[in-house]
Amino acid sequence: MPLDENLQNLDSTLDNFTNNLTYIGLKPEFSDLLTNDIASSHAYFGVFVLFVFSFIAFNYTLKIQRFISRKLATKSRDKLKLAPYECGPTPLKQPTKIPHQFFIIALLFVLFDIEVVFMIPWAVVYKEALGNGFGVLLFIEMISFILLLVIGLVYAWKKGALQWHTSSQSSQPFKWNPQNQQASIKPSIKEVTQGGNL
* Dist CA 80 CA 28 (whole Å): 62
Work out the mean pLDDT of the chain and round it to a whole number. 72
pLDDT band at 183 (very low <50, low <70, confident <90, very high): very low
Q: Which amino acid is at 36?
A: N
* Dist CA 22 CA 119 (whole Å): 62
Question: Per residue in 77-110, is it b (16+ CB within 10 Å) or e — as a string?
Answer: eeeeeebeeeeeeeeeeeeeeebeeeebeeebee
DSSP class of 181: G
- pLDDT for residue 10 is more than 80: no
The 10s digit of each residue's pLDDT in 144-168 is 988 988 898 888 888 887 787 655 5
Average pLDDT over residues 78-106: 72
Considering the entire predicted model, what is its pTM? 0.36
Which ranges constitute the DSSP H helices of the chain? 2-23, 28-33, 36-41, 45-72, 79-82, 100-132, 135-158, 189-194
The answer to whether 149 touches 115, Cβ cutoff 8 Å, is: yes
* Helix, coil or strand: residue 87: coil
- pLDDT for residue 21 is more than 70: no
| Residue 169, pLDDT score | 45
Percent of the chain with pLDDT over 70: 53
Average pLDDT over residues 34-62: 79
- pLDDT for residue 184 is more than 80: no
| Burial class (CB within 10 angstroms; exposed 0-12, middle 13-18, buried 19+) of 65 | exposed
- pLDDT for residue 70 is more than 60: yes
Q: Which long-range contacts (CB under 8 A, 24 or more apart) does 31-36 make?
A: 36/11
| Residue 25, pLDDT score | 54
Give the range among 61-65, 131-135, 162-166, 167-171 with minimum mean pLDDT. 167-171
